Amino acid sequence: MNAMAALRQYQTVNTQAQAVDASPHRLIQMLMEGGLTRMAQARGALERGQVALKGELIGKAVGIVGGLRDGLNLEAGGELAMNLDRLYAYMSVRLLEANVKNDPAMLDEVAGLLRNIKSGWDAIAP
């Protein structure tokens, strides 16, 4: 096992251990952090011409945004939850467009949106 594979394995185990003990609030933060990381990694892969890796990472980011969207309680969350639902849907479409068009500006746009949501979420930390 090379050093990078070992590091990835450690990170996976560490993330899983954190998730087991995390509060629901922290789990959402972890999803947002993971989404931002995947978008940054996808941008790097795009810049290096690693098209397959870029697509894989954007796919993971889309999955994370979908997970955030699925976690919304539209009945209890009212207008805020509905607005987030629409924003997450928009973000997913933009990520898919970024993948097809190889457009780093679209990745940056979605990352900025997610950072804004995350900063609000972080501000209400229990």
Residue 6: pLDDT band (50, 70, 90) is very low
* The residue to which tokens 């919304």 are assigned: 72
Q: pLDDT, tens digit, for every residue of 26-59?
A: 999 999 999 999 999 999 999 999 999 999 999 9
Least Cα distance to 42 among 31, 56, 29 occurs for 56
Cβ burial, residue 1 (10 Å; 0-12/13-18/19+): exposed
Residue 108 and residue 99 in contact, taking contact as beta carbons nearer than 8 Å:
no
97 pLDDT higher than 70:
yes
* Ramachandran area for residue 49 (φ above 0: left; ψ -120 to 50: alpha; else beta): left
Look at the pTM and tell me if it is higher than 0.75.
yes
- To the nearest whole percent, how much of the chain has pLDDT over 90? 78
- Please name each of the domains of the chain with its CATH number: 26-123 (1.20.120.340)
Q: Taking residues 92-120, report their average pLDDT.
A: 97
Looking at residue 49, the DSSP 8-state letter turns out to be T
Six-digit token string for 47? 């810049």
Phi, psi of 26 (to 5 degrees): -65, -35
Q: What integer pLDDT is reported at residue 3 of this predicted model?
A: 47
